[in-house]
Structure 1
Amino acid sequence: MAQGGVRLRSAFLVSSIGDWIYRFAAPTLILQITGSALSAALAYVLEFIPYIVVGLVAGVIADRWDRRRILITCDCLSFAIALVIAAVAAAERPSVALLYLCAFLLAAVRPFAFPAFQGFIVDTVPQERLSRMNAWTQTVDSSLGFVGPVVGTAFIAALGVPLATLVNALTFAISALLIYRIAHVSSREKPAAGVRAELSGVGRDFVAGLRILRSIRPVWWGTLLMAAANFAGFVVEGNLVYLILQVEGLPAVALGAVFAAQGLGAVLGAVVAPRLIDRYPTGRLLTSGMALSALAMALPAALPAVGVIAAAWAVEGVATSVIVVSWFTARQTVVPADAIGRVASVSRAAAYATIPVGALAGGAVVGGALAAWGGPVRTLFLCAALVQTAVAAATALSPLRDIHEAVPAPTTPGDP
């Protein structure tokens, strides 16, 4: 089991690196071909759309089919699509339409891997080690969020898009091999009735998954409140580039310092989260994390200086990691093992849906009449802080505060 845990962590690390390479390779190539920043941005946005749409169905597949096979299949498909992108990039006249199609297909594969991975963690990792595994994944995500933009763009600039995309393909192949070598612990197998009979129950199982989510009140409230917290965060984060570079007129290094502080804070939060989970009730950690996040957003509203913003965003990074690790661990403990894929997918879809909404709302605040109250920086952080304060108060008053007392459900209630 220990060796399987190492392989699972390694597979997550390698495939996450591949995701980051892809995240910059496709937009970079499209920018080189078209010279249009809007066209490049569209390729980047494509990453989020499948999580909102495809991700809902993906959770059902992850609960009905063998999760190990799903992960291997996703990595193999990602490997093949990345090879096609590398071939297109090496062509004399790359097809932009084909690049968009490949970018979308690659983005559509990853939502299937996410719920399968969440379920596979439950299948393979002992319950007492769940917080450590979640802390590892959060540390990897935070570290890549910190160094990914710099290293990813430098990597592509050094190797070129075709070779960088080929390396991207190899990361998915390595991930598939690592998952393949993990001992098979799941009993989910394709039914004898065949694929058609299996797919006919997808809609029924999705509805059943929503009922399960509603029946576990702390998880239901947590899903809603996590989405609201994500909205508050992206009110600011979606507009930081404009605020710092355009409104404040600061150099790019100032923007880098803010995001670097957030990344370092997130890594620190992921490191300490398992220790906090061992010592304190999860509901209390979630409430405290939400309150700490509200405080971090309020600080720049009081003193809108770039140094304060960087310090506040470091605190925000700590709070976010503690919340994420605590939430994932509690959800994996309380939700039935055969429904974790659907619950994880619905939660991820809700969270991703708030990204464009929060960013657009923040942009409206910056450009609207409210900005005249005390300047766009102060006004934006104040609005985000007010939303996050409401989220923290709702967490303290909702069933989410008692999620550590919820009785784990070993089977899927009401599932046919």
Structure 2
Amino acid sequence: MSLSSTTAAPVLTRNRLAVSMMFLANGFLVGSWAPKIPEFATRLSLDESDLGLMILAFGIGSLCAMVLVGVAIARAGSRQVVRLMAVLAAPSLLLVTLAPAIWSAAVALFILGGMVGGMDVAMNANAVEVEKHERRAIMSSCHGFWSLGGVFGAALGGVIIAEYGTLMHALAVTAFAIMAVALAWPRLLADPPQAHTQPLAGSHAPGVGRSLFSAGATVWLTGVICLFAMTPEGAILDWGALYLRQELGASPALSGLAFGAFSAAMALMRFLGDIVRDRFGAVRTFRVSSVLAIIGLIAAGLAPSPEWAIVGFALTGLGLANMVPIAFSAAGNLPGLPQGLAISVVTFMGYSGILVAPSIIGFIAEHTGFALIYLALPVLIVVALAFSRLTRHADMTPG
């Protein structure tokens, strides 16, 4: 037996490092926007409703780009697209900082959302290519790097803004993003365009038509899984602290731990998720994760104290952590569809759960309270669990 056949492949390859750096840079850009919001609102004299419309511009930009980037990936491959989107995303927070008026700021936020959202689709598509190339799961840890970047961006942003001002903060964020992109640039895995892989020839044949219909239905159902998995994440992000404060009597400091505990648990489990998925398979990992999320949400909704609710949110984070990465991997491996198009559909639907659903939840909670909301959200996870068999496409064949 040769030495090469007995030596295990390195865990952190150059391709995996490169796409992980892209996730880190993207998360850092998104996280760095959060501490700028108070100054942004004060500088432009925005009230709560005006600020809500501004943030909506960010979300609309993201969702629009997610659709268009999927087509570009099918035509040019994920490496070319993620490079382009990363270069355009790096200085986009600087545009928001320099915007002098409301309308220019809205356009800048639309651009920021579009570049970050488009980069999100492209880097997920490239991560799927790396998974195929290395025959091992990497998607969960990539999303873990995104979470890590978001935490660092949010934590460091407040310090830099307080000490050096918003312009220096934006310049520092841009410099970090450029350095991360430069490090990843030559190491990104090259992948061919996928448009030619669509079964167009003879697609009028009944068998091929059924295959296309089946693939299309599968990608939309996988998108439903992402939508229903990311809606609770948005509900905890936007309303968890308010729930602890208003309904459970938590102090301001304690209420801030609602999303903190959720995020920390999610980041931890995402770095462990690839090992778990390779060991137990995508379907079993998804199902156990779903059950954990259901238990966590019910515990948060029934919590008699803020401390119990925080434990419930942490359990929810452990559960939700790997559901979306598994769904993305499954979408990128669906037979009969270019992965860029499939991932763009799944990403669009999933991020709708974070960008749109929380506003609906807030309206309902005015009449029901947040406890009932958190008790109702497990129904969405149960629906995702019912479609869990679709995640079998995420399984990697051992190399």
- Name the TM-score class by shorter chain: 0.7 to 0.9
**How far apart are residue 212 of structure 1 and its match?**
5.2
> C-alpha separation between the residues in 2 aligned to 1:127 and 1:217?
26
CA RMSD of aligned residues (A): 3.4
- Helix, strand or coil for the counterpart of 1:304? coil
Say whether residues 1:61 and 2:67 are aligned partners: no
Match of 2:186 among 174, 181, 186: 181
**How far apart are residue 156 of structure 1 and its match?**
2.2
Match of 1:382 among 360, 363, 375: 375
Residue of structure 1 in register with 2:317 after alignment: 317
Residue of structure 1 in register with 2:120 after alignment: 114
CA 1:153–1:108 in structure 2 vs 1: closer, same or farther (change >3 Å)? same
**Over residues 66-112 of structure 1, what are the superposed CA-to-partner deviations in whole Å (9 max), with x where a residue is unaligned?**
433322222332345444445x26xxxx3332222222112212232
> C-alpha separation between the residues in 2 aligned to 1:60 and 1:266?
31
> C-alpha separation between the residues in 2 aligned to 1:4 and 1:406?
17
Residue of structure 2 in register with 1:414 after alignment: none
**How far apart are residue 344 of structure 1 and its match?**
1.0
**How far apart are residue 306 of structure 1 and its match?**
0.9
Residue of structure 2 in register with 1:100 after alignment: 106
Say whether residues 1:137 and 2:142 are aligned partners: yes
Fraction of identical pairs, as percent: 15
> C-alpha separation between the residues in 1 aligned to 2:21 and 2:90?
17
> C-alpha separation between the residues in 2 aligned to 1:6 and 1:17?
16
**How far apart are residue 59 of structure 1 and its match?**
0.6
> Would you say how many aligned residue pairs link Structure 1 and Structure 2?
374
- Helix, strand or coil for the counterpart of 1:273? helix
What is the TM-score normalised by the length of structure 1?
0.78
**How far apart are residue 319 of structure 1 and its match?**
0.8
> C-alpha separation between the residues in 2 aligned to 1:231 and 1:190?
31
CA 1:264–1:51 in structure 2 vs 1: closer, same or farther (change >3 Å)? same
- Helix, strand or coil for the counterpart of 1:261? helix
**How far apart are residue 239 of structure 1 and its match?**
2.4
Q: Is 1:18–1:171's contact at 8 Å kept on the other side of the alignment?
A: no
Q: Is 1:298–1:382's contact at 8 Å kept on the other side of the alignment?
A: yes
Alignment of 1:155-304 (within 5 A): 155-182=160-187, 185-188=190-193, 214-215=214-215, 219-235=219-235, 237-304=237-304
- Helix, strand or coil for the counterpart of 2:256? helix
Q: Is 1:287–1:401's contact at 8 Å kept on the other side of the alignment?
A: no
> Aligned AA for 2:338?
A
Moved more, 211-220 or 76-85: 211-220
Match of 1:2 among 2, 7, 13: 13
- Helix, strand or coil for the counterpart of 1:48? helix
CA 1:266–1:12 in structure 2 vs 1: closer, same or farther (change >3 Å)? same
> C-alpha separation between the residues in 1 aligned to 2:82 and 2:253?
39
Residue of structure 2 in register with 1:410 after alignment: none
> C-alpha separation between the residues in 2 aligned to 1:319 and 1:292?
5
**How far apart are residue 129 of structure 1 and its match?**
5.4
**How far apart are residue 139 of structure 1 and its match?**
1.3
What is the TM-score normalised by the length of structure 2?
0.81
